[in-house]
């Protein structure tokens, strides 16, 4: 084992990445930046063609960064056989939920089949896709052993959850990694490999522990967001400003972390990850009451926002049906062009279901993307803003001119407290 650990710690080995999406592409570029030859594989020939031309589809990887990586050690391919050249293979494929909110394991299973076809003695196989505890042992290990190899003698298997935060300053190569092997030996080898990629590695006792650590991180956030969303509804009933309350509580230097209400929860992690844990718990006949309650509150927030908007319109002698409402932002978080699982979309769909005429203003998305959702895209000119009777702030991109919005739209519902945080006092703005 010591020889293998030393090889990953000191030699210039080759990294292989399966899946060149928002997790895999930054990982591949970072590996090259750390001096490693890297082979990036994706099943999409079109994606490979674009990447090979230096065109990045991931916001956190610029075209310049991609082009530099291609010149200095990154190769991209749709040929899985090339992964046999890699000393460590990192699996970074999607892990969505199915229609009934059960884990969709098809991508991980397909990646495991790819591994089975290329795995060779001396390789490390590390799964990074978010999943339920036990996946690495249930899916990846059989793929490796089915190819005739023995864990820890021929090949090493581990789990290290992806940690990315699109749009934030901290990049993949700066974020500490949790690593857990399917054995102590595999864990030690994986930790050695990851130390070449990131500044800090936290080694845990097992792949299961690492898998659950990822789910705890985002379940913690989902539950606390659910709590503050419920508190926001209670505060409204008691005629209390929830934003003032949170800011007051946040002055405590210990024992409190501020979470804020909004249109709901969105993105690739928080709405999904707790459900992996809840699904696994049901198999164990264990009730995940906090997780279930938080999901109920969070998934109801778009309806709650729509109802509050209906109340605001009613107070101004306007019906929801037929009123022209402008959605300000459709991303799941500020300053990123990413609307996966975005609660902003759910608010607008609910308002449309209630009869409103919807338009969308979000300069981070191309007009054809917005129009494919079924709504007209506007550019935010004074003339265009003036066509709407109410604007609802759902995402607070820095690119928005909030003064122009309030000056040209008669009513504004602010689900993000964007105006007050920018010290913009407007009488026509109502805060969630």
Alpha helices in 316-397 (DSSP H): 343-353, 367-372, 382-385
Residues in the chain, overall count: 432
Task: Based on the residue annotation, tell me whether 92 is a catalytic residue of this protein.
Answer: no
Distances (CA, A) of 333 to 221, 265, 409: 14, 9, 23
HEC secondary structure over 385-408: HCCCCEEEECCCCCCCCHHHHHHH
> With left for phi above 0 and alpha for psi between -120 and 50, is residue 122 left, alpha or beta?
left
Contacts 24+ apart (CB under 8 A), 4-10: 4/122, 4/156, 4/189, 4/192, 5/188, 5/189, 5/192, 6/192, 7/87, 8/87, 8/88, 8/124, 8/189, 8/192, 8/193, 8/196, 9/192, 9/195, 9/196
Tokens representing 413?
């519902």
105, 115, 269, 429: the catalytic one is 269
CA dihedral of 315, 320, 326, 328, whole degrees rounded to 10? 70
Q: What span, in angstroms and rounded, lies between the C-alpha atoms of 229 and 347?
A: 15
CA torsion through residues 281, 287, 291, 296, sign: positive
CA neighbours within 13 Å on the CB side: how many for 218? 27
**CA neighbours within 13 Å on the CB side: how many for 227?**
12
Please give the positions annotated as active site: 269
């Amino acid at each position: 084992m010591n020889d293998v650990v030393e090889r990953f710690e000191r030699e210039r080995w080759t990294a292989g990445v399966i899946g060149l999406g928002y997790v895999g592409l930054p990982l591949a570029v970072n590996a090259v930046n750390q001096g490693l030859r890297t082979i990036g594989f994706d099943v999409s020939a079109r994606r490979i063609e674009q990447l090979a031309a230096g065109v990045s589809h991931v916001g956190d990887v610029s075209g310049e960064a991609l082009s530099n990586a291609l010149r200095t050690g990154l190769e991209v391919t749709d040929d899985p056989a090339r992964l046999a050249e890699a000393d460590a293979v990192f699996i970074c494929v999607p892990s969505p939920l199915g229609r009934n909110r059960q884990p969709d394991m098809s991508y991980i299973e397909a990646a495991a089949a790819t591994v089975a076809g290329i795995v060779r003695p001396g390789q490390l196989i590390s799964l990074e896709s978010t999943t339920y505890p036990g996946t690495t042992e249930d899916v990846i290990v059989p793929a490796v052993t089915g190819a005739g190899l023995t864990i820890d003698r021929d090949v090493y298997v581990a789990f290290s959850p992806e940690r990315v935060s699109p749009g934030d300053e901290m990049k993949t190569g700066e974020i500490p990694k949790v690593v857990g092997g399917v054995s102590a030996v595999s864990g030690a080898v994986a930790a050695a490999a990851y130390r070449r990629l990131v500044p800090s590695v936290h080694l845990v006792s097992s792949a299961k522990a690492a898998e659950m650590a990822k789910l705890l991180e985002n379940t913690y956030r989902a539950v606390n967001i659910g709590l503050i969303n419920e508190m926001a509804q209670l505060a409204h009933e008691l005629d209390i400003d929830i934003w003032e309350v949170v800011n007051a509580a946040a002055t405590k230097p210990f024992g409190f972390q501020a979470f804020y209400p909004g249109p709901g929860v969105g993105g690739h992690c928080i709405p999904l990850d707790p459900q992996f844990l809840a699904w696994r718990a049901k198999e164990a006949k264990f009730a995940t009451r906090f997780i279930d309650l938080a999901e109920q509150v969070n998934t109801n927030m778009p309806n709650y926002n729509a109802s509050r908007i209906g109340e605001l319109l009613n107070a101004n002698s306007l019906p929801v049906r037929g009123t022209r409402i402008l959605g300000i932002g459709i991303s799941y978080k500020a300053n990123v062009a990413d609307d996966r699982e975005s609660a902003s979309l759910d608010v607008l769909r609910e308002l449309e279901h209630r009869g409103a005429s919807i338009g969308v203003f979000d300069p981070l998305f191309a007009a054809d993307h917005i129009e494919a959702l079924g709504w007209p895209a506007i550019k935010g000119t004074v003339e265009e803003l003036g066509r709407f009777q109410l604007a609802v702030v759902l995402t607070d991109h820095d690119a928005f001119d909030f003064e122009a919005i309030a000056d040209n739209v008669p009513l504004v519902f602010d689900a993000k407290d964007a105006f007050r945080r920018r010290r913009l006092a407007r009488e026509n703005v109502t805060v969630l």
